[in-house]
Amino acid sequence: MDTTLRGVGVSHGVAIGEVRHMGTAVMEPPARQISESEAPREQQRARRSVEAVANDLIARGNLAGGEAQAVLEAQAMMAQDPELLADVERRVAVGSTAERAVYDAFASYRALLAGAGEYLAGRVADLDDVRNRIVARLMGVPMPGVPDSDRPFVLVARDLAPADTALLDPALVLGFVTEEGGPTSHSAILARALGVPAVVALGGACEVAEGTVIAVDGSSGTVRVSPSEAEQARLAREAEERKAALDAAKGPGATSDGHKVPLLANIGGPADVSAAVEAGAEGVGLFRTEFLFLDDSTRAPSEEKQATVYRQVFEAFPEGRVVVRVLDAGADKPLDFLTPGEEPNPALGVRGLRTLLDHPEVLQGQLAALAKAAEGLPLSLEVMAPMVADRADARAFASACREAGLAAKCGVMVEVPSAALRARSVLKEVEFLSLGTNDLAQYTFAADRQVGAVSRLQDPWQPALLDLVALATEAAAAEGKSCGVCGEAAADPLLACVLTGLGVTSLSMGAASIPYVRATLAKHTLAQCERAGAAARAADSAHDSRIAAQAVLSGE
């Protein structure tokens, strides 16, 4: 029976295939008591399994590269957390087996996070995956993961851990659907980087029977269950037509009447550069530098190491624009040598620029490395600070850039409502703004970006979020400065038109989304985009906002 389910589309494209369910999670180990003499052996088993899982995660990250590498290295650090391991060994000492001790220690830490309002829900999902991998190794059972198949399929799961998503083979996994997750979760971001169609936060997804044919539309968020052969043929035909349109759209980003909208790439390191170049990116709109600092959580990398890596990226865009975000540590990206040990609400605490201002030597080292990496290159280098709240923050960052002798434009990210509301004041100190719509939505709606239950409030089509975008772009225009978007909102082709209509001057996204956005922009005039932007802001919900903009752009 042909039925339609609706979730949140997080990665463009259409996938049609049979359902294969994710391997089941590791079962709860039995609570068997061991003797005191067995404890040292069990503690050693636990340590070896923890180390093996951490090494496996690091190896997977090395294979995947880019954003995936940073995510998996963070997971490896989680596996090796000394407090967790100490808790495991204490439990073994009082009679638990290694596998039971790991299970209970991780459960205790999980409960602690959940008890804090699931603020770090994304970390909880990663924690569960680490636990399952360690316990599976100790019990000698198959590791939970992507099922084996001799033909392509659509993967369905309650949720996907980064370790699974990072190494998905697009030739085998046509697309994926999850019951949990949100548009800015780790797996959603990695799906876009891979170019795999994906829908998340789809209630009842795991109830679809193994082997059922489904059609996944990663743009609209719809999943057709058991579509007829005629419907499958129609969807496949539309997908081919869409691909042909993408292939035909070349050159710089622009509306049909020639209004230029530079299309830039979000990257996590040198491994992401080739995909960005191949997609025709006109530069880099967000160069995340966190991955460099995850190699060793106890100290910052040397200036020489940083400069070498930065230059690899700069040389790929010798005459283009490269926007570097300085280290964004804290919240879900803690670093031992920077992040406070305990905060009641980390994402509302010391993170981003706040962390760097508390540790000026780290900021100065990074700025010096950027200056060294850019020497002799004709690129347009821009450097921006994350989590800027007001003019004082912007002034402090601009001052640090001047002290470092950095010959680059200095800007800030708009990720909290205060920065959007007071954008004109902030722009008295810096030369550009870049809207990070993921965090801006999180802080505007008090909705954790990793929690699927509040994903509707993370929808970048929310009119209140578009109002804040408009405030920032109007301020930038009044000051004669630029205001781009580097959040995931830019990856939605329809929303890209709306953002252009609201005055956004550049759009930065994962490389896989650039052709979709380029082709869609090229179909519409600037005036149409402006009318679509006004219609979207006039709506009262994210759903109505999208419908209103779509009606304008389709000429209805």
DSSP-derived secondary structure for 60-98: HHHHH-HHHHHHHHHHHHHHT-HHHHHHHHHHHHTTB-H
% of the chain with per-residue pLDDT over 90: 55
Query: What is the widest separation between alpha-carbon atoms in the chain?
Result: 79
Distance CA 520, CA 81 (A): 46
More confident residue, 435 or 76: 435
Look at residue 503 and tell me whether its pLDDT is greater than 70. yes
Evaluate if residue 386 carries a pLDDT over 70. Answer: yes
Alpha carbon 239 to its chain centroid, in Å, reads 25
pLDDT of residue 66: 65
* pLDDT at residue 117 greater than cutoff 50: no
265: Cβ contacts below 8 Å, ≥ 6 apart = 272, 275, 276, 279, 281, 283, 284, 285, 508, 509, 510, 511, 514
pLDDT-wise least confident of 87-91, 131-135, 246-250, 523-527: 246-250
| pLDDT band at residue 25 under the 50/70/90 scheme | low
* Residue bearing tokens 């059609």: 215
Catalytic residue among 486, 497, 524, 529: 486
Q: Which residues contact 337 (CB under 8 A, 6 or more apart)?
A: 297, 298, 299, 300
Contact 5, 201 (CB under 8 A): no
Q: How far is CA 478 from the centre of its chain?
A: 31
Is residue 159 within 8 A of residue 127, CB to CB? The reply is: no
Question: Could you write out the three-class secondary structure of 432-487?
Answer: EEEECHHHHHHHHHCCCCCCHHHHHHHCCCCHHHHHHHHHHHHHHHHHCCEEEECC
* Contacting residues for 427 by C-beta, under 8 A, at least 6 apart: 394, 433, 475, 476, 479, 481
Active site residue 186: yes
Distance (Å, whole) CA 176 – CA 196 = 8
Highest mean predicted confidence (pLDDT) among 27-36, 247-256, 257-266, 442-451: 257-266
Active site residue 206: no
118 pLDDT higher than 50: no
Band (431; pLDDT cuts 50, 70, 90): very high
Residues 231-254, mean pLDDT to the nearest whole number? 84
pLDDT tens figures, 49-104: 999 888 888 887 777 776 677 777 777 888 888 888 999 999 999 999 999 999 99
Average pLDDT over residues 267-275: 87
Pick from 215-229, 231-245, 273-287: least confident: 231-245
Catalytic pick among 186, 410, 483, 529: 186
Helix (H, G, I), strand (E, B), or coil: what is residue 488? helix
pLDDT digits (tens, 9 = 90+) for 443-473: 999 987 666 567 788 889 999 999 999 999 9
Give 212-222 pLDDT, tens digit per residue.
Answer: 999 999 888 89
Which residue type occupies 6?
R
Query: Is the pLDDT score of 293 beyond 90?
Result: no
Decide which of 25 and 272 is more confident: 272
Tokens of 462: 């929310």
Q: What is the structure's pLDDT at 74?
A: 76
115-137 mean pLDDT: 69
Q: Is the pLDDT of residue 119 over 50?
A: no
pLDDT at 116: 44
Q: From CA 503, how far away is CA 261, in angstroms rounded?
A: 10
What's the average model confidence in pLDDT over 525-533?
98
Among 142, 123, 3, CA closest to 75: 123
Please tell me the distance from the alpha carbon of residue 130 to that of residue 276, in angstroms, as a whole number: 31
Average pLDDT over residues 376-404: 95
What pLDDT shows up at residue 486? 94
Mind giving me the DSSP string for 352-372? THHHHHHSHHHHHHHHHHHHH
Of residues 268 and 65, more confidence is placed in 268
* DSSP helix/strand/coil, 325: strand
Which SS3 state, helix, strand or coil, does residue 185 take? coil
Digit-coded pLDDT (tens) for 309-363: 999 999 999 888 999 999 998 766 677 777 776 777 777 888 899 999 999 999 9
352 Cβ contact partners less than 8 Å away, ≥ 6 residues apart:
328, 329, 330, 385, 386, 387, 388, 415
Lowest mean pLDDT among 10-19, 172-181, 256-265, 333-342: 333-342
What sign results for the dihedral spanned by CA atoms 391, 396, 399, 405? negative
Average pLDDT over residues 101-129: 69
More confident residue, 2 or 541: 541
